[in-house]
Structure 1
Amino acid sequence: MNIVIVDDNPINLMVIEKILSNKGYSHFIKLSSALELLDLLNVGTGAGPKEPVDLILLDMMMPEMDGLEACRRIQQCEELKDIPIIIVTALGDSNLLAEVLEAGASDYVVKPINKVELIARIGVALRLKHEKDWHKENDARIKSELELAKQVQSSVLSQPIHTDVLDISASYHPSYELAGDLYSWYRIDDHRYGIVLLDMMGHGISSSLVCMFISSVMQDTITRYVSPDLVIAELNRYMNQLNNRKNNSFSYYFTAIYLLIDTEAKTIEYVNAGHPPGMLFERGKPVRLLDQGGCAVGFFEQMNIQKMVFEYEQPIQLYLYTDGLLEAIEEEGQDETDKLIRELVSCSEEPELTCIIDRLIPPEIREEQEDDICMVMVRAK
């Protein structure tokens, strides 16, 4: 543990060192001016201190630069502002405490120094620093684990599919928290694919874990039950099993849209479970909204599910998305769904989904969004 003592009077340096030595402190850096302190800390360079510093005892009145000015400059450096600073002064001004604290110091002591008071204030400052350091290390560990969880979560997302008759791709921009969006698609047979997009309630670790649980059962559910109404009913059963466990004081749910596309029969079957409506564009026909189906998955033990079926004749473009996308394009006085339809019509010639998303929501706007933004595009020839 390094304690830095800054005073232009050599006797004061010796006295403070003696007091601290008698209490078991053994590592000191003695400096005679505030400028030497700024040099030791590499103030303004962003490089961090030349040596580890745990506490600074800083004299108030010194030539060239006083202790308060030095304290202010140190506090302007993000990498230094957690180092506790105790101002040591001979002044007895009753307004000094406010001035010291405004400058960023942790505390102050008055000369002539009371040994008991100095040791007590140093003890308090070091305990607070220890707690801050612990929280910083813990926050860094949590951040690292969350980043790993994000990578694991991203690894289960489906890869694009490109065949002679079908293209499926996604553009996904998670928020800074763990995401609650999930998309998957699975080949049922030579000409049928099951495609799902869901949005788990909330964000963070708990929502992410529930999302991963659903991901783990998704493939088996879709390939076994195939039909949208049966798939959604089975996912609802899984969610109710999770919500009905003992000591579970919170219920989770998600919105979802699941569709089964048959490229040979040219049919689409779907169920929309409380999700923003998918949009189907077919050449020569008005846009069709995929908005029928039922409530969100996990709300009720038994769902009233309505499956919709329709045929297409011309090449189609189908877009599924989460509500984060609608929030990102929101404008006062405009209906987000109508606006999205207009934007997608203007982007119909864009070959890649990433280009469409860039036109809909520029990167600088996406970075400010608090919710996940996800869109799935299906093109059938």
Structure 2
Amino acid sequence: MNIVIVDDNQTNLVIIEKILRKAGYDNLVLLSSAKELYHFLGMDSKEAGEVPVDLILMDLMMPEIDGVEACRTVLKQERLRDLPIIFVTAMGDSYKMAEALDAGALDYVMKPINKVELLARIRSTLRLKHEKDLRKERDKRIQNELALAKQVQRSMLSSPIHDQAVDISAVYEPSSELAGDLYAWYQIAPNRYAVILLDMMGHGISSSLVCMYMYAGLKDTIMEVSDPKAVMDELNWRMNQLQMSDRLINYYFTAIYLVLDTEKQTIHYVNAGHPAGVAMVDGQAVMLDKGCCALGFFERIDIVQDEISYDRQARIILFTDGLVESLGVEHENGMVPIVSRLQEQAEHDPVSLVQNLQPGAGRDDLKDDRCLVMISTK
């Protein structure tokens, strides 16, 4: 337990030191100015190490740099911002004391020093620091666990496919450490590819966990069933297994799922309350907007499956509402720039498409997860 005492009066330093040593505080550092404090804390060094102090007792009135200015300067440092400071002062001006507390000090003790009062305030402040340290350690552990969960979540996303029949790839920009968007695709037969994009309600830990739950049975469901209508029905059933009657918030997700057959040149799909995808079929834009409501609301839902055929080539893009919202337009108007850019862009390049839609957009601008999946036949 390291306590620093800062006072330009040597007598005051000796008095406080004797009180603290008698109370069992042995690791004491005595300093006579704010400059000495800055140096002790390593504030004049480019290499910031560990904070070598648990508590600062500081005089309010000191020459050159007074206690209020020193307090502000110390707490302005990121690594020192939680350092507890108690002022020890003879000044009884309430305005000055208010200024001292506004500067970030946790408490103050008036001179002449009352030993019982001083020790009580030190104990109280150190208890608060201990609780803060525990909280910081817990937050650090949580951040490490979130980073691991993020890595696990990213590992679930499908790798791009570039073969003789089709190109499938995606752009994914989560708004937070853990996101509520998920995409996956599988080759379910020599000429058949299944692709799904879903958007869980909200984002963060809970949405990510529900995403992982849905992903756990996703591949088996798609490989065994494959039919879009049957797959959506199964996913809706799985989502309803999570719902509880006494829960205030029930989770749900929107999704769009399709099966592309490059031999028969057909696209079968179901859109479950998701933003309409776009299929450029032989140069014409077709909206993928047929299907059903979002999944998880009702135990039984009516599902409509639609089919699209093409003669030469099909290019399909699926996206979440975060992409449309980041364009700054309403959903129904968001298709205009998307279709326009897709018609202008001949190559399979989802990254370029997103950049052309949102020139200059940065990660700090994201309010929701942003995802786009592109599928191109050859």
Whether TM exceeds 0.5 here: the answer is yes
Match of 1:375, SS state, is strand
1:48-197 correspondence to structure 2 within 5 Å: 48=48, 52-197=52-197
Deviates more, 1:349-358 or 1:273-282: 349-358
Q: What is aligned with 1:261? A: 260
CA contact (8 A) 1:48 1:80 kept: no
Q: Provide the alpha-carbon RMSD of the alignment.
A: 1.9
Gaps of 5+ in 1: none
Q: Contact between 1:185 and 1:193, CA under 8 Å: does it hold in 2?
A: yes
Report the equivalent of 1:19.
19
Question: Which residue, 308, 311, 314 being the options, matches 1:310?
Answer: 308
Which residue matches 2:217? 217
Deviation at 1:186, TM superposition (A): 1.0
> Structure 1 residue 251: deviation in Å?
2.0
Does the C-alpha gap of structure 1 residues 337 and 302 become closer, same or farther in structure 2, counting only changes over 3 Å? same
Unaligned stretches of 5+ in structure 2? none
| Corresponding residue number in structure 2 for 1:354 | 351
- Distance in 1 (CA, whole Å) between partners of 2:355 and 2:292 is 32
Deviation at 1:352, TM superposition (A): 2.1
Instruction: From 355, 360, 376, give the equivalent of 2:373.
Output: 376
Aligned to 2:278: 279
Match of 1:301 in 2: 299
Q: 2:362 is matched by which residue type in structure 1?
A: I
Task: Go from structure 1 to structure 2 and tell me whether the alpha carbon gap of 1:262 and 1:350 turns closer, same or farther (over 3 Å shift).
Answer: closer
Give the C-alpha shift of residue 221 in structure 1: 0.5
Query: Secondary structure, in 3 states, of the residue corresponding to 1:367?
Result: helix
Deviation at 1:50, TM superposition (A): 6.8
| One-letter identity of the residue aligned with 2:267 | I
Task: Give 3-state SS (helix, strand or coil) of 2:179's partner.
Answer: coil
Paired residues of 1:328 and 1:365 also in contact (CA < 8 A) = no
For residue 371 of structure 2, what is the amino acid of its counterpart? C
Residues 225-236 of structure 1 mapped to structure 2, 5 A cutoff: 225-236=225-236
Using the alignment, how far apart are the partners of 2:332 and 2:268 within structure 1?
Answer: 30
Distance 2:58 2:239 in 1: 60
**More displaced 10-residue stretch of structure 1: 42-51 or 109-118:** 42-51
Distance 1:331 1:248 in 2: 34
Distance 2:295 2:312 in 1: 33
Q: Name the aligned partner's letter for residue 321 of structure 1.
A: F
| 2:372 partner amino acid | M
- Paired positions, count: 378
Partner Cα separation in structure 2 for residue 57 and residue 266 of structure 1: 78
SS of 1:109 mapped into structure 2: strand
Task: Return the offset for 1:248.
Answer: 5.4
Shift of 1:362: 4.3
Tell me if structure 1 keeps the 8 A contact 2:282–2:310. no
Query: One-letter code of the match for 2:176?
Result: Y
TM-score (normalised: structure 1): 0.94
SS in 1 for 2:299: coil
Shift of 1:78: 1.5
Q: Once structures 1 and 2 are overlaid, which stretch shifts more, 337-346 or 112-121?
A: 337-346
CA offsets, 1:282-304, max 9 Å, x none?
A: 2342x110001000111110010
Check conservation: 1:350, 1:356, Cα contact below 8 A.
no
How far does residue 212 in structure 1 lie from its aligned partner after superposition? 0.5
- Structure 1 letter corresponding to 2:281: E
Q: Does 1:328 align with 2:326?
A: yes
Compute the TM-score of the two structures, normalised by the length of structure 2. Answer: 0.95
Structure 1 window deviating more from structure 2 (113-122 vs 263-272): it is 113-122
CA distance in 1, matches of 2:61, 2:3: 19
Instruction: Measure, in 1, the Cα distance between the counterparts of 2:220 and 2:247.
Output: 26
Cα separation, 2, equivalents of 1:161 and 1:363: 28
C-alpha distance after superposition, 1:316-340 (max 9, x if no partner): 2100000110111114899222232
Residue 296 of structure 2: SS of its match in structure 1? Answer: coil
